[in-house]
Amino acid sequence: MKYYTQFENKSLADQLIQKALEYKKAPLSDNNLGRGKRIGLLFLNPSLRTRVSTQIAASNLGMESIVLNMDKESWALEMEDGVIMNQGKAEHIRDAAGVLGSYFDILALRAFPSLTNKDEDSEDFILHQFAKHSGLPLISLESAIRHPLQSLADMVTIQEHKQKEKPKVVLTWAPHIKAIPHAVANSFAEWSIGCGHDVTITHPEGYELDERFTQGATIEHDQDKALANADFVYVKNWSAFNEYGKILCTDESWMLNEQKLSQAPNAKVMHCLPVRRNVELSDEILDGPRSLVQHQAKNRVFAAQAALSELLK
Amino acid sequence: MKYYTQFENKSLADQLIQKALEYKKAPLSDNNLGRGKRIGLLFLNPSLRTRVSTQIAASNLGMESIVLNMDKESWALEMEDGVIMNQGKAEHIRDAAGVLGSYFDILALRAFPSLTNKDEDSEDFILHQFAKHSGLPLISLESAIRHPLQSLADMVTIQEHKQKEKPKVVLTWAPHIKAIPHAVANSFAEWSIGCGHDVTITHPEGYELDERFTQGATIEHDQDKALANADFVYVKNWSAFNEYGKILCTDESWMLNEQKLSQAPNAKVMHCLPVRRNVELSDEILDGPRSLVQHQAKNRVFAAQAALSELLK
Amino acid sequence: MKYYTQFENKSLADQLIQKALEYKKAPLSDNNLGRGKRIGLLFLNPSLRTRVSTQIAASNLGMESIVLNMDKESWALEMEDGVIMNQGKAEHIRDAAGVLGSYFDILALRAFPSLTNKDEDSEDFILHQFAKHSGLPLISLESAIRHPLQSLADMVTIQEHKQKEKPKVVLTWAPHIKAIPHAVANSFAEWSIGCGHDVTITHPEGYELDERFTQGATIEHDQDKALANADFVYVKNWSAFNEYGKILCTDESWMLNEQKLSQAPNAKVMHCLPVRRNVELSDEILDGPRSLVQHQAKNRVFAAQAALSELLK
């Protein structure tokens, strides 16, 4: 069983980044690779970029994709083994994943965390249940703890814009009105460290990420210090990990704006979108020359295409 | 006007079963049959297996399919003729079916029963309104009273696994927490009897199905007696038909488990899915060697493909 | 930037009508025109005809279409610039439209009016925001103030059924239980006047449409007088424009029925659907020989195909 949920090693990452850049130049260069194959795109949560970019990536490879919004079009899924199913959930993931496994060649799944059950989320319970019971190669379209196709697209974007071999990359926490999952922050840290960037993570006290993803990064609670001389600043909110799913800080001064970047004149700013404008990040940055957010979004197509082509080989 | 809502005769059933088995071996053997044709897959209710398997079947035949979740993406439909439409329903089935009839070559429709209006449900009112006003060949994706593509897939599965010419097939009622339609039970009985199996139906008193579907079956209220020496056991809940749509029995001892099959050592167990685990059927059976549920689900593709190819000829 | 939101001039209209009629005879005659192109069909509101007919039109031209029900599958959109996004809306139209603009070659958008903000609706705020921030050719699938593909289909239908060069075309207000947008009425008036028909608009006092769309039409508050000798009667409800979004009249006698057409023996009756039967229009007309509603709906495919082929050239 083979599935894309994590950063494997720098060599594979470099290869995927190169492949994505090649597809960006020639999207249809492998348009027979997926001929006769079908991918099921399964969503337990909303999606815009992820769904459309993966459909286009599949199509560029000649593969048929079928989208299923399982939270809306199908039956509510029971994830726990051994339960007596006498409540609201109509179908068990064992049965649904087994069936989908027999209909497709590859599955791709979006399954956000509960943010209430730290243990289950931390072991990526839903993703692993799907992988196990479908028996198919599975691509994560954002799971409880990782968003690998986003991170691959982010690495492609950094590769395109970096001016030095080992850029200073800062992941900065930003305010938000809701409790947000850790997947994007985790994956970005994991990939950026793995790709050999000089990574600093800055956040208010109490917002420490799961250490599995941040080994090798500098943790700096003073945001101004962290941002100084940054080449890339990745802005993202996440809820607390230790006090799981809690909002501990609503300090608006953590929002990134131009003034905060005065010590980082060349910094490019990144965000995975959707972004809360003027809450996480100011309009002036998003609509100005520093912003790479549209580049990141466009690169989602080629990142997905590179990952799919790797699975198809 | 030609549409698949019922078992026609043993000869056609045998032919469809054979065709489905051929497609299982060579799914793309007729991949030009539907070239240039379009099928509209219309859902008034949720679906997982039915939607995806029919899309794949159409694609295997080279036909374009367009899915429309009419309950969510479109306008609420008025089904009754002659009414003054000054309530919540925005469009009449006459108009919607007419339009869809002009856009497609074949329609397929899922329309569950109300379970409140026995007369309308019993005459398959919504299905017939769609067929009449669209003027197109119509495939039922489960109507108020039948689920023919499920039953065809079930017959294919029995054909693959039977050890004797005339197997003993038992349809057993199972508990459920909700009032469930009769369509799967009706169709399974109709097809299994029609295919010449030795059919026994077992259920608590008061759960008699509509006699149109059970002529030729043995009715046995003692579940243990019914199960003895069974070759295939089809597990399914349904609500009462006479006291229409009511739940009359919640006796958990009707749940099928291994202990109940002690007198049927070779019995294979079937269910159409979604199944309420440990309510209708125990985990031990579903995850054990007796279970055919994944085979049935996989055969949905080839059953749909056989039915579509019959309509396309 | 090129987009279809309005009637341009009679010469282009005639050309589009001709093209649509050609496609009706030979739907696949240009089936390579869109090869390798992708259209995103974006819906902020429900749809039946519009969605399916545009998908089929794109397919007839060899173009790939991807449907996104943005109101259900994706993130709620903030439309206003400069706001602090600390409320329910998760993504700004600037960002979403930019991303979609990078994924597709053409966009098509359905965005109904608020009916509460007259100024924003009147300047077609959402449509223009999408067009501006996507940077792509944009087809309106009904905006706050226009429904051009419907009107083009209506012109095609009149062209097919007219008995004289300059037919008398009457747009008549009809009762409804809800406050309904002005888009269909506006566009129909604009196109019908622009195509050189003899146009009369009849409605209760207070239901005057925005004058930008009705210049050149006769306004007649006496419905009977308006209907006399009509060749085509277009039935449609709309809410008040001056007292914006209000329901001022619930007089059931404005419903069109056969008796009202006694002075217009040859009148054909049109409606864009969905229609409230026996509220806007009687069953006797809808199910009788005067009705063109199914012709209009069928022509939606070829109108969309003509508009798309114009954009693809």
Q: Is C173 annotated as ligand-binding? A: no
CB contact under 8 Å between C47 and B74, yes or no, is yes
Rounded mean pLDDT of B214-233?
98
Rounded mean pLDDT of A195-221?
98
Q: By CA distance, what is A88's nearest residue in B?
A: B177
In which band, very low, low, confident or very high, does the pLDDT at B3 lie, cut at 50, 70 and 90? low
Rounded mean pLDDT of A209-234?
98
Q: Which residues in B lie closer than 8 A to residue A95 (C-beta atoms)? A: 273-275, 277, 286, 293-294
Q: Which residues in B lie closer than 8 A to residue A36 (C-beta atoms)? A: 28
CB contact under 8 Å between A297 and C99, yes or no, is yes
Rounded mean pLDDT of B100-107?
97
Q: Which residues in B lie closer than 8 A to residue C72 (C-beta atoms)? A: 72-73
Strand partners, B219: B201
Token output for B219 = 């009715």
Q: Express each pLDDT in C79-117 by its tens digit.
A: 999 999 999 999 999 999 999 999 999 999 999 999 999
Q: Interface of chain C against chain A, CB under 8 Å?
A: 36, 38, 40, 64, 66, 68, 70, 72-75, 78, 81-87, 90-92, 94-96, 98-100, 102-103
CB contact under 8 Å between B91 and C48, yes or no, is yes
CA–CA separation, B107 and B97 (whole Å): 9
**Range with lowest mean pLDDT among B5-9, B36-40, C87-91:** B5-9
Predicted local distance difference test score (pLDDT) of residue B73: 81
Q: Which residues in A lie closer than 8 A to residue B177 (C-beta atoms)? A: 86-87
CB contact under 8 Å between C277 and B92, yes or no, is yes
Q: Which residues in A lie closer than 8 A to residue C92 (C-beta atoms)? A: 274-275, 277
A285 Cα to chain C: minimum distance (Å) = 12
pLDDT < 50 positions in chain C: 1
Q: Which residues in B lie closer than 8 A to residue C55 (C-beta atoms)? A: 66
Candidates C70, C91, C99; nearest CB to A294: C99
Predicted local distance difference test score (pLDDT) of residue C2: 55
Q: Report phi then psi at B305, rounded to 5.
A: -65, -40
Q: Express each pLDDT in A144-198 by its tens digit.
A: 999 999 999 999 999 999 999 999 999 999 999 999 999 999 999 999 999 999 9
Q: Interface of chain B against chain C, CB under 8 Å?
A: 36, 38, 40, 64, 66, 68, 70, 72-75, 78, 81-87, 90-92, 94-96, 98-100, 102-103
CB contact under 8 Å between C52 and B100, yes or no, is yes
User: What mean pLDDT, rounded, does chain A reach?
Assistant: 96
DSSP C4-69: E-S---HHHHHHHHHHHHHHHH-TTTTTTTTTT-EEEEEESS--SHHHHHHHHHHHHTT-EEEEEE
Candidates B56, B278, B286; nearest CB to A38: B56
Name residues whose C-beta falls within 8 Å of residue C187's C-beta, 6 or more positions apart in sequence: C7, C146, C147, C148, C150, C151, C213
Domains belonging to chain B, first-starting first, are 3-146+298-312 (3.40.50.1370), 150-294 (3.40.50.1370)
Q: By CA distance, what is B64's nearest residue in A?
A: A64
Candidates A64, A74, A85; nearest CB to B48: A74
pLDDT greater than 90 at residue A242: yes
Q: How many CA atoms lie within 13 A of B111 on its CB side?
A: 27
**Range with lowest mean pLDDT among A70-79, A140-149, B109-118, C75-84:** A70-79
Rounded mean pLDDT of B284-302?
98
pLDDT greater than 80 at residue A5: no
CB contact under 8 Å between B99 and C294, yes or no, is yes
Token output for A100 = 């989908």
Rounded mean pLDDT of A90-110?
96
CB contact under 8 Å between C99 and A48, yes or no, is yes
ipTM over 0.90: yes
Q: Could you give the percent of chain A with pLDDT greater than 90? A: 95
CB contact under 8 Å between B52 and A100, yes or no, is yes
Task: Using the structure block, give the residue that is written with the tokens 């969905």.
Answer: C274
Rounded mean pLDDT of B277-291?
98
Rounded mean pLDDT of A299-312?
96
User: What mean pLDDT, rounded, does chain C reach?
Assistant: 96
Conformational region of residue C72, where left means phi above 0, alpha means psi within -120 to 50, and beta covers everything else: alpha
In which band, very low, low, confident or very high, does the pLDDT at A283 lie, cut at 50, 70 and 90? very high
Candidates A38, A70, A91; nearest CB to B273: A91
Predicted local distance difference test score (pLDDT) of residue C130: 93
B134 Cα to chain C: minimum distance (Å) = 11
In the three-class reduction of DSSP (H, G, I as helix; E, B as strand; rest coil), residue B224 is classed as: helix
In which band, very low, low, confident or very high, does the pLDDT at B162 lie, cut at 50, 70 and 90? very high
- Burial string for A140-166 (b: 16+ CB within 10 Å, else e) reads bbbbbbbbbbbbbbbbbbbbeeeeeee
Q: Which residues in C lie closer than 8 A to residue A275 (C-beta atoms)? A: 91-92, 95
Predicted local distance difference test score (pLDDT) of residue B291: 98
Q: Is C6 annotated as ligand-binding? A: no
Predicted local distance difference test score (pLDDT) of residue A3: 61
Name residues whose C-beta falls within 8 Å of residue A35's C-beta, 6 or more positions apart in sequence: A62, A63
Mutation to test the C interface, candidates A24, A53, A273, A277, most C Cβ within 10 Å: A277
